[in-house]
Chains A and B, each alone.
Chain A
Amino acid sequence: MLEMLSPFFHLLLFPGGLFALACGLLLKGVDRKVAARLQRRIGPPLHQPFVDLIKLWHKDSSVPETAQSRVFAWAPHVGVTGMALAALLIPIGGVYTPSGAYGDLLVLLYLLAVPAVALMIGGAASGSPFGAIGFSREMSMMLAYEGPLLLALLSVALKVGLATGGVATFSLAEIVRYQQAHGALLFDPVMWPAVVTFLFVIPANLGVVPFDIPEAESEILEGPLLEYSGKELGLFQIMSALKMVVVLGLGVTLFCPTAPGGLLLSLAWFIFKCLVLMVASVTVVRSATGRLRIDQAFSFYFKWPEALGVASLILVLTTRNFP
């Protein structure tokens, strides 16, 4: 009986569902606070994202007359579901290892594309020209950053796979186990190009400045989100909070999943690593830069992260230990 219930527990409470949501909102609160302090402002309190979410639940929601109302209403639900499933796959070193039956790195890669697709569908169904512009920009961004993301994931998969005698392993549990035995990949110079590639991908994947081009509020009025209000907008906020945890958690898993031991300590260590990763790759970047144009962002991703990703792949293949 308990065996049957455990997937639901994992999906709804821990590590997916409520835990991931609370974690994501907390991360967002810290992000806003640190960004404000970096600009010498006082900034909102840490629990502000929670408050925003509760507020959105109290507001009216409306569907525009020009929208495809059913698709418009379901798009945020699709996004949240995709991200909740993805949160299920993120291992927490020393606390939680996802069962192989849930999926592996490849499934996670597909699930990571779901929020962007949900935004695109919602924007296209809203019937607003700004939504349509947001749709096309979101699509271009996705084309730009999926390549480097795939290369970074593949480098880690190859590194671990080759070291354990196979070809490439896409099992997340295997990747964590290898690093817990042989030390984190973060400290292996061979993996540094992959680390940098992944760091480059994070801001675009999470849609923050300078790569928040699809949701630019000052030029296309938040694009796909323009027509959403009340609870549906709240669902999109939940989706982006979950995505924050998933993307940062994936980074931690790939490059530094080691744990100090002890349940609570390991959990706190995981959250701390996510925080450090977020401040380094999201907060500092977004408070120091301005928004790029879509063509600049596109060509940037096709030049530097892509090249780094290829370099990392070659590096991993050439430095393997021949038996």
Chain B
Amino acid sequence: MKTFLKKVAAQSPWLYRINAGSCNGCDVELATTACISRYDVERLGCKYCGSPKHADIVLITGPMTTRVKEKVLRLYAEIPDPKVTVAVGICPISCGVFRDSYAIEGPIDKYFPVDINVPGCPPRPQAIIEGIAEAISVWRTRL
């Protein structure tokens, strides 16, 4: 019974976006996965939620600039367990074109574990949805 309920629960991953100093390109692509009917992410049971406390899957964009670092770490700590982290775009993975800048504290996996990488500048919506689907399969094992 318990395993059945967990299996059912895994079909309802809620998404939360953290912008760690992104140029907004990846955020626009994230918005297309929800707003453009062709790339409907809601069919996987996902829902973009406004509060970090409701989140199951965290989508992080941006190279972690010095100014947002404290806030991002605080936000990440607010998200209740179990959670899965997805790095969207090349910036959170390797800081991309902003590497070696004095204002960049990235990459993101220096601060917390990243489960899925979705590279691209920006990644295509299909790639993001594939990343989310991968994240759901990781999340299923953590419930």
Shortest Cβ distance from residue B87 to the other chain A in the assembled complex, whole angstroms? 22
Shortest Cβ distance from residue A53 to the other chain B in the assembled complex, whole angstroms? 8
Classify chain A's interface size: 20 to 34
Contact present for B53 and A62 (CB under 8 Å): yes
Contact present for B8 and A54 (CB under 8 Å): yes
Shortest Cβ distance from residue A307 to the other chain B in the assembled complex, whole angstroms? 34
Contact present for B80 and A48 (CB under 8 Å): no
Given contacts A60-B80, A229-B54, A233-B54, contact A217 B49 (CB under 8 A): yes
Task: Answer yes or no: A99 CB below 8 A from chain B CBs.
Answer: no
22 contacts between A and B (CB under 8 A): A39-B37, A41-B40, A41-B43, A43-B40, A44-B42, A44-B43, A45-B45, A48-B11, A50-B8, A51-B9, A58-B5, A58-B9, A59-B80, A60-B80, A62-B53, A62-B80, A217-B50, A217-B51, A222-B50, A226-B50, A227-B53, A229-B80
For the complex, give the distance between the alpha carbons of A222 and B50 in Å: 6
Task: Answer yes or no: B6 CB below 8 A from chain A CBs.
Answer: yes
For the complex, give the distance between the alpha carbons of A39 and B8 in Å: 27
Contact present for B51 and A222 (CB under 8 Å): yes
Contact present for A51 and B12 (CB under 8 Å): yes
Residue in A40, A48, A59, A226 whose beta carbon sits within 8 Å of that of B51 in the complex: A226
Of B37, B51, B80, most A-chain CB atoms within 10 Å: B51
Task: Answer yes or no: A221 CB below 8 A from chain B CBs.
Answer: yes
Task: Answer yes or no: A225 CB below 8 A from chain B CBs.
Answer: yes
Task: Answer yes or no: A103 CB below 8 A from chain B CBs.
Answer: no
Within 8 A of A (CB), among B1-52: 5-6, 8-12, 14, 37, 40, 42-43, 45, 47-51
Task: Answer yes or no: A42 CB below 8 A from chain B CBs.
Answer: yes
Residues of B within 8 A of A218 (CB): 50
